Chain A
């Protein structure tokens, strides 16, 4: 599912998935969720993530960056250090450092981050709060010690 070399497999997952559980954490590298991948549930891990597929649920990568590529379609709340949206997202964005919506990006939701950049041509409807500390989700999964296990979302 989190394959750095290929993402052409026709897969559909309904799972709680830890990126660390699938790939050894490798700072500076990113994992890509390909265009044909659909995930429902909770995504967490300790490396950067690029999403070109569909994700529904919650994305927890608080020490890392999340990029939603031009083909990405997300219905999720995202908690990350830096968040970049080039595709479509419906949900709340909690960026510890910065949230960027590029010219091809479409966001419907609320942005909570100290820095927010909206490029010309970007579409956004919602609220922006640059004066609040990004929220911490109610429960952060212990990805360091527990292996990934299935969760019916």
Chain B
């Protein structure tokens, strides 16, 4: 009985590459969260025990979207008729998904067709509370891994990333201003260039 809609092949983990990356912006964001409030957090990536354990320190409802394969599959069938907003609510298919305080959008923007970044961010905008945060890593180098990585939080200042095996592909190399232009409704609160060749971003929803 197939009760799961996960339709993308799992990565061959035996041949995956693992990398430790620093996350100073995420670490500073973590200081903002307090025990006084209950937060609503969405991880767009696949479920991770380490991430669930990390967020259990916070009073929160954590949504696990595992939506990257669905979005990339949708992208393959993209025509010239690009939507104004991606129907992320339908793609995510999760109950009670609104007024989010934080979205982990760790790797997906790197693998989006440039034309989809604005519809994607418009879709995220609809799900978030005003002032909510969006955390992302964007490749600044010419090349990046063949597919999106799986992120595991070790602590607020570092993460393990596991990439699928395969030849590197050209990276997007978006500049800060270009991202701001392509993501109306968001402002860049913090941006850090990492040794790993990625730029770590924290956006806030206007």
A75 vs B4: C-alpha distance when bound (angstroms)? 12
- CB distance B56 to A130 under 8 Å? yes
A118 vs B94: C-alpha distance when bound (angstroms)? 19
- CB distance A123 to B4 under 8 Å? yes
Q: How far is the CB of A152 from chain B (nearest CB, A)?
A: 22
Interface SS of A by simple majority:
strand
How big is chain A's contact interface, by range?
20 to 34
- CB distance A131 to B3 under 8 Å? no
A118-B62 contact, Cβ under 8 Å, with A110-B95, A123-B6, A127-B96? no
- CB distance B66 to A125 under 8 Å? yes
A131 vs B41: C-alpha distance when bound (angstroms)? 13
Number of A-B residue pairs having CB atoms within 8 Å of each other in the complex: 65
User: B66-105: contact bitstring with A at CB < 8 Å (1 yes, 0 no)?
Assistant: 1000000000000000000000000000111000000000
A128-B52 contact, Cβ under 8 Å, with A73-B1, A88-B3, A110-B95? yes
- CB distance B47 to A124 under 8 Å? yes
Chain A residues 68 to 92 lying within 8 A of chain B, measured CB to CB, are: 73, 75, 88, 90
Does B15 interact with chain A (Cβ within 8 Å)?
Answer: no
Considering the complex of A and B, which 4 residue pairs feature the smallest CB-CB distances, nearest first? A124-B47, A118-B49, A90-B3, A131-B59
